[in-house]
Chain A
Amino acid sequence: MSLDIKLLKKESLEQWFGKISASGRRILAPVERGGKVLFEEVSSPAEMAGDYIQTTLSAKSAVFPRCEELFGYALEGKEVKLEERKKEPQPTVVFGCRPCDAASFAILNSVFSWDCPDELFKQRLDKTAVVSISCKKSDQYCFCASVGGGPGDTKGSDVLLTELGSGDYLAEVITDKGKKLVALAPELFGAAPAEDKAKNLAKVPKEFDLKALSEKLGRLFDNNEFWLEQSLGCLGCGACAFACPACVCFDLQDEGNKKGGRRLRCWDSCGFALFTLHASGHNPRPAQSQRWRQRVMHKFGYLPDRLNYLGCVGCGRCSRLCPADMNLLEHLKEIMNRD
């Protein structure tokens, strides 16, 4: 697909939003809520949060809701009736997520689509377009450049906007979905600006080599002391998993009574002690250190091995939100420094 570069004036955003909304698409964009920046439905760019490095939670819930009904059931005597979701998900534009979040959708998709494709997920993903905004700033928690991304990386975005010195946007139209969004208001998109994209991007250094990391991990599994040391602070609260744009692990739960109810798929975390607990009381990962190891191994070892995707985009949310101040980047660097 040929990359199409355009100029989008800052003041044209409002009109573009209007056209997108008028087309029946809902727009999810970062909004400031009590000191947090969260994705919510908006109708105007004026509602969007202004100055933030990263949203508090990721845009994951647009395609993988925190809690989703898989089907409903109704009981009548000994008969059971199952009711499937009839309404198709509403077409959605995730607007203003960072390139790291845009890249995370493919990771979620790799898990949901392998072997036994999950149509509930695919329906949402197919109806979701991503207009991301490049990062002008980063902080000490960001490490996208170390995991194959970058502050202006186009992977996963349908349109990528980069704010130029003037406040206008350089718009890279990357996919057919992106072209369709631009086609809603082609008059708003002018000729490519002369200004260089790269000079308007944050500088995120590459901190480690992925191949070397994977080799180190392969040898570290049995080093219990190492994992214990790394995880000493871990409270097992699961904040990292809930904030992570690439964490897929979920629970299936029933909600209802003897007359009717529904089966739900809800986010879960490998950091919880109950996650792997058998009914017998046996737990294959009884210690927090083993659960921490699972988290790191799953993202940087198992997923790349199995599905060719790294389970991390370097957004840094897990570290920003950790109540015990655990820092994933520091932990990965520590792994790299092991002989």
Chain B
Amino acid sequence: MENIYKPYLMRIEKVTEEAPGVLTFKLVFVDENEGRQFEFKAGQFGLYSVFGEGESTFCIASSPTRKGFIECTFRQIGRVTSALARCEEGDTIGFRGPYGNVFPIEDWKGKNLLFIAGGIALPPLRCVIWNALDTRENFKDVTIIYGARAVADLVYKRELEEWGKRPDLKLITTVDPGGETPDWKGQVGFVPTVLEKAAPASENTIALVCGPPIMIKLTLPVLAKLGFTPENIFSTLENRMKCGIGKCGRCNVGKLFVCKDGPVFTLAQLNSMPPEY
């Protein structure tokens, strides 16, 4: 009998502290066979569990182009994430997934990609960013605008450095006013303002926006001003989930399940949904 609630066992191969209270786990399958058969696509998520504590939902933050492992990035905030944060390299945790829909990357061939992220919301886009960079020939200009409250809160600092050096990618990092350090070389200002100044072309461009609600709320009008249509703006929703497979009844936004119909939605879809997220 197939038990849909039974998780894969995953070994924590590496723990990286990204920012205060924010950790990235590199996870490998305890059963190598399961690992070889495992496939996912950019945008999908899973339920990560510490046995005895419960499950918690995060996106898969690594790219499907990188095989043999998955990564997740989370902030220590509740019971399960606190238990995860206490884990060490070599520990075994549970993982169920991949669940949910995907970013339609294959439809974006020949287009420009504009990533806009705030704070801890870079992980869901990091998966797409690496996927795009690993298949770079499929896309035209790639631009990343990433902001956090303060320099310390920027996640994936080493990757930001790496992306900043790449000639085939335009990276703009910013921190909120007052969040800069003396040696900060990026911009100072809120993401929407920085986006307006950068004014990326909207023609033939897909915008991917993930961040705190207030950032999204203020970023969308700027994108509209720049000429982006709601069909070309993508985001991800996160609602509390237990099952991840359309049964437990709590992540729905109107009649749509974030776990089955999402987490990836276009702005056109979000505009037609009730504000239950």
- On whether the beta carbons of A118 and B4 are closer than 8 Å, the reply is yes
Report A-chain residues with C-beta under 8 Å of the C-beta of B238: 278
Chain A residues with CB under 8 A of B178: none
Range for the number of chain A residues in contact with chain B = 35 or more
* Nearest CB of A to B54, in Å: 5
B245 within 8 A of A: yes
Q: Which of A94-102, A133-141, A182-190, A258-266 contacts B (4 or more CB under 8 A)?
A: A258-266
Contacting pair A284 B277 (CB below 8 A): yes
Could you say which residues of chain A place their CB within 8 Å of the CB of B91? 78
Which residue numbers of A lie inside 8 Å of B, CB to CB? 70-71, 73, 75, 78-80, 82, 84-85, 111-112, 114-120, 123, 221-222, 248-254, 256-258, 261, 263, 265, 268, 270, 275-280, 284-285, 290, 294, 297-298, 301-302, 305-306
- Mask, B228-251, CB within 8 Å of A = 1, is 000000000011101101111110
Contacts of B276 in A (CB 8 A): 284-285, 290
Question: In the bound complex, do residue A276 and residue B51 qualify as a contact, i.e. CB atoms below 8 Å apart?
Answer: no
Whether B5 pairs with A80 at a CB distance below 8 angstroms is: no
Beyond A71-B6, A258-B52: 4 further Cβ-contacts under 8 Å? A84-B1, A254-B51, A277-B240, A278-B238
Q: CB of B9 within 8 A of chain A?
A: yes
- With a cutoff of 8 Å between Cβ atoms, the chain A residues found around residue B1 in the complex are 84, 119-120, 123
List the A residue with the shortest CB-CB distance to B5: A70
Question: Which of A118, A257, A258, A302 is close to B247, meaning CB atoms less than 8 Å apart?
Answer: A118
- The DSSP consensus for interface residues of chain A is mixed
Which of A78, A80, A112, A275 has a CB less than 8 Å from the CB of B250? A275
Which residues on the A side are within 8 Å of B49 (C-beta)? Answer: 254, 263
Let me know if A79 and B248 touch, CB within 8 A: no
Contact partner of A261 (CB less than 8 A), chosen from B6, B52, B90, is: B52
Segment with Cβ contacts to A, from B65-73, B153-161, B202-210, B252-260: B252-260
* CA A119 to CA B6, docked complex, whole Å: 12
Q: Which of B9, B52, B243, B250 contacts A82 (CB 8 A)?
A: B9
Q: Given that A123-B1, A279-B81 are known contacts, is A254 also in contact with B53, CB under 8 Å in the complex?
A: yes
Residues of A within 8 A of B9 (CB): 80, 82
Residue of A280, A298, A305 contacting most chain B CB atoms (<10 Å)? A280
A256 to B30 Cα, complex, angstroms = 22
Q: Are B248 and A268 in contact (CB under 8 A)?
A: yes
Q: How far is the CA of A278 from the CA of B212 in the complex (A)?
A: 14
- CB contacts (< 8 Å) of B90 on chain A: these are 78
CA distance A48 to B43 in the complex (A): 54
B50-69 CB mask vs A (1 if < 8 Å, else 0) is 01111110000000000000
Q: Does B78 contact A (CB under 8 A)?
A: yes
Decide: B252 and A120 in contact? CB cutoff 8 A. no
In Å, the complex CA distance between A120 and B1 comes to 8
Give A290 to B274 CA distance when docked, in angstroms: 12
In the complex, whether B24 has a CB less than 8 A from a CB of chain A is no
B91 to chain A, nearest CB (A): 6
Residue of B nearest to A283 (CB): B240
The answer on a CB contact under 8 Å between A252 and B6 is no
- For B8, give the chain A residue with the smallest CB separation: A82
| Complex: chain B residue closest to A251, CB-CB | B242
Could you pull out 11 A-B pairs where Cβ atoms are within 8 angstroms? Answer: A71-B5, A73-B52, A82-B6, A111-B247, A115-B246, A119-B2, A222-B274, A263-B51, A279-B81, A284-B277, A301-B255
When distances are taken between beta carbons in the complex, the residues of chain A under 8 Å from B37 are none
Quote the shortest CB–CB distance from B102 to chain A (angstroms). Answer: 16
Nearest 9 pairs between A and B by C-beta?
A279-B78, A249-B249, A302-B255, A116-B245, A70-B5, A80-B92, A73-B51, A279-B77, A256-B52
